[in-house]
Structure 1
Amino acid sequence: MMKFYNLRNAVLCLLFLLCFFNVKAQEMRAFGNYSMYFGNKNTGTIRSVEAGIDYGDFPSVAFQLSASYLNSDNKDKEHYDYDNYVLEKLSTKGSAINSSLGLKVYNVFLDQDEEKTFIYYIMPKLNLARIRATENFSSTDYFYPSHSFDEERSISSWQVYFGIEIGYEFFLSENNSNSIAVCASYNRINLTKGLSKISHENFQYGRHDSYGVGLSFYLGVKKPSKKN
């Protein structure tokens, strides 16, 4: 069973910082995001739908709080065992409900006194996900058909992981903060995490490095004024 005490303390500290930051915060913006993470030999393509708020001093620094749903394509594997008499097939899929807290910093490494016509950001994120993984396993014995069987099982698990997002933001007008952002993301969510503990001998699961791209839409109040 996962221990949440340290995580709870970390989240409380972050929420305290968010409340303190409220003194200087100028804007709140709602946003929606759609992202796609590229698959590898261990996992299929992962799709993510996310919604949340940005709260901060734009375009300088902001906190982001969000919730998302992730779903992976089915991943199928086949394996012949015992001198090709037994065919084993495995199909896996995973999904997750995810919450995240990020710190978005704009125009890192650029001179703060310059006119900010180029708006990009870097955002490290702390994530907490409730993962549900499903495994469908079948074993077909061509020599002893009575030994053939099918099995399906699901496991839910928790995962705490870090991620990072880098993006470029396009403001839609001069008098408001509505914008569109394109981003690239990296995280280590493992949608088949629970199955690694019970997987059949011939099928192994490892940790996943997920690289993806996404598109975000932001809706807010006036565009932050540029500092001279």
Structure 2
Amino acid sequence: MTTPLQQAFEAAQAEPEASAPIVCTVAGPRTPYSAQLYTGEELRPTSARPGAYDALTLPSVFMGRRVAAPAASTLNFVHTSGRRDFLGTKAEGQRFTAIAPAAQGDQGNYLPKPGSVPSLVLAHLQEHGGHLTYSEITQRFGIPQSSTTAVFKKALDSGALVRLLHNERVVIALPGYTPPPDTPKPSKDLIALQARIEKRRQEVAAMERELAQLQSRALRELITK
């Protein structure tokens, strides 16, 4: 006697009848490729890899529709003068050119407040020329070195004064000023030689002091005798 489970198993293994229709539940037969499919054949003589092509940059046929990559957008270059320039929605696509500080309206004729540190520095540079380091400004005019940039911000933005780098130090000068060439750094061998000379000089000075003490002691002993 067979169980219902065995009966179901035997029925599953039995051959279907010839008259019974076969239903495909996965996928139908593949259709051959269309003759209009783009293969990039014209690129064979020029491509580094024969037959290689970019389907996004060349027209092709996809499911009966001709597709192509979108047109390349044009670039609008923005020329700035080093300041913060922002593009609004109305200004998109316009070309900006650098504006010299002297042509920026009232800012080009900027004069610092009389008696202020920027006005004193400006007068000093106009009279003596050259440049001033942050340390010199701090010592001469009594402002914290950490506040120097903030104190001179308006004068620097307007172009009345400029910041330059000299001997790896930031200096304040008048527009158009060219600092002298940087002092060359001594080599490591020269630094080591200078250190040895300084050490020997200190040793000689110590020996001279000791000799003077011995002479003074010997003189006192002669006097007491």
Which protein is richer in helix relative to its size? Answer: 2
Which protein is richer in strand relative to its size? Answer: 1
Larger Rg over CA atoms: 2
TM-score scaled by structure 1?
Answer: 0.16
TM-score scaled by structure 2?
Answer: 0.17
Higher relative contact order (CA 8 A, sep 6+): 1
